[in-house]
Every structure is written in C-alpha cells, then in structure tokens.
Amino acid sequence: MNPEVGPYNLTDSDQVQVGGFLSDKNGSRAIQNAECLECRLELDGRSAMSFRYKFTLPDGEIIHVKTGRKYAQTVNGLMRGENDAECLLDCYEGFFDFEVEETGERGYGVAEYSIEPAYPRWRY
C-alpha cells in the first residue's frame, strides 16, 4: 500500500471509497480524498476558526472548498490513557458555512478534525 497523500486518501484500497459526502441539487457524491490546505486557529490555539480544503470526487473532479461562519462545535475525548483520566486525542466537530470556490455554491456542513495532545491534558 502506498503512503497517504492526504488525510483521507482512500484510493489504494479495494473497498468502497468514502471519505465523507458532498451533497448538492444533483444528489450526494462520495469524497474520495480530502486535503486540508489551510487551517486558521482560534485565539485559544486549540480549535479551528476556518478551513480551506481540496476535495477529489470519484470521477476525478477536484474542487476547492472554504468554510465561512462557524455556528457551533463539539469535542469528544476519544483516546484514553492507562487510567481513563488522561485524554490523548480530542476530536472536534465544527458546524460551518461552506463555499465551493470554483462555482460560488454555498451550503453548510461539518468539519471533523483532531488535535493531539488534547488540551487540557487532564480532564476532570
């Protein structure tokens, strides 16, 4: 298997290729590869303010998508240490406005991302 090109490069597998979905007036299409081109952090330095992505769709089409306003965000501590009190990885789900740069189409969706090590390192 070749090394990953992007965070969700699923092209080297014989399995169904899905790294998320892009839905528009014509229905939903799987995202075959997603590469984060830019991430701006909030003042806390731990959570994202905005993103710019490059998405590759199954037919080979490449689009560039950027986020706008962030409406809300959740965080889940997914990786635990030996005593389950130490969280080693935070997984964030930010709800954003999105815009396709090539067409100007706008919509909304979720950007899921992780920060390692978690902050604060010890949860209460």
The closest of 12, 14, 5, 15 to 55, measured between CA atoms, is: 5
- Asked if 65 contacts 100 with a C-beta cutoff of 8 angstroms, the reply is yes
pTM: 0.71
pLDDT in tens, 1-47: 333 334 444 455 555 556 688 888 878 888 888 889 999 988 877 78
Tell which phi-psi region holds residue 26, choosing left (phi > 0), alpha (psi between -120 and 50) or beta: alpha
Quick one: average pLDDT of 97-119?
A: 85
Q: Quote the DSSP letter at residue 43.
A: T
Query: Which pLDDT belongs to residue 50?
Result: 93
pLDDT band of residue 104 (cuts 50, 70, 90) is very high
The identity of residue 103, as a single letter, is: T
Tokens linked to 81: 């240490």
Query: Which pLDDT belongs to residue 74?
Result: 82
Query: Which pLDDT belongs to residue 62?
Result: 95
